[in-house]
Amino acid sequence: MSDFSLPEEFPDGLPDGLPDSARDGLPRGAHDGLPGSAHDALPLAAREAARRHCASLEDAVGRFRRDHLDVIARWGSRLAVVLQGGGRLLAAGNGGSAAQAQHLTAELVGRYRRERPAYSAISLHAETSSLTAIGNDYGFDQVYARQVAAHGRPGDVLLMLSTSGRSGNLIAAAATARSAGLRVWALTGPAPNPLAEAAHEALCVDAASTATVQETHLVAVHVLCECFDTAVETGPHWRTSGASGSFAPAAARRRMS
């Protein structure tokens, strides 16, 4: 039961002309005294905002399905070859994109839907002591590049997520990874952007809202896991598939290290 009561000058409820900003600060239950039309308008406005959000996401996912499934399927197949061959996935992002990078690596180290072997995948932001030490000693732009230099081997994959595609630390990591012989993929917001240009391949989500880009990235992460698991289950083993060249050194060097 709320102990809030309307001021004495409003015995019959708040007036229709009261600004929304004044109503928004009321405690739970205070709107019960509003006139019917004003009371109904509050959830209608919220529902309209929710509808616009969902419509934006539906449009973005529709474009993703139309334009990018081939890219994700190719990434999933390649990742299956790399990880089954002893290679590693490195993933990085900032803020919400860091959380999604860690989501992806958790699906690979653990499992996505079906039981399968564990695979080597590291989310670079999760190593907090290294992250803060590198940031302190070398600057924030180097927090991922330095870790790529430490953990990456030729044939490994670096996947970076960024809604803007303009994060300096990810662009620096891409340059380090390419120099070290890693394959670099980027999930970004609208093209063109510097991170997409720094990667070997990029999947650029065409959406105006940062939230919509992030939500579509999560769809892409799950579809990548789906494609990876399917490739692991149905594809030829890496030793008999004819996959050679850049894939083998990752496993060989890691066994020696």
HEC-encoded secondary structure of 2-18 = CCCCCCCCCCCCCCCCC
pLDDT above 90 for 29? no
pLDDT digits (tens, 9 = 90+) for 45-95: 999 999 999 999 999 999 999 999 999 999 999 999 999 999 999 999 999
Residue scoring higher pLDDT (5 or 137) = 137
pLDDT of residue 121: 98
Mean pLDDT on 93-112: 98
Mean pLDDT on 232-247: 55
Least confident of 5-19, 132-146, 169-183: 5-19
User: DSSP assignment, residue 186?
Assistant: E
pLDDT above 80 for 31? no
The neighbouring-strand residues paired with 93 are 161
pLDDT of residue 235: 76
Q: Which amino acid makes up residue 31?
A: H
Structure tokens at 204: 């650029």
- Residue 86 CA to residue 84 CA, distance in Å, equals 5
- Residue 100 CA to residue 94 CA, distance in Å, equals 9
* pLDDT level of residue 7 (50, 70, 90 thresholds): very low
* pLDDT level of residue 254 (50, 70, 90 thresholds): low
Residue 192, preceding peptide bond in cis (omega within 30° of 0): yes
CA distances from 215 to 90, 95, 130, 189, 220 (A): 21, 14, 29, 11, 9
pLDDT digits (tens, 9 = 90+) for 10-23: 445 544 554 444 44
Phi (first) and psi of residue 200, to 5 degrees: -65, -40
Burial of 168 (0-12, 13-18, 19+ CB in 10 A): middle
User: DSSP assignment, residue 227?
Assistant: H
pLDDT above 90 for 36? no
- Residue 7 CA to residue 68 CA, distance in Å, equals 58
pLDDT above 90 for 257? no
Pairing of strands 121-123, 201-204: unpaired
How confident is the prediction for the chain on average, in pLDDT? 85
Which range, 12-21, 38-47, 146-155, 246-255, is most confident? 146-155
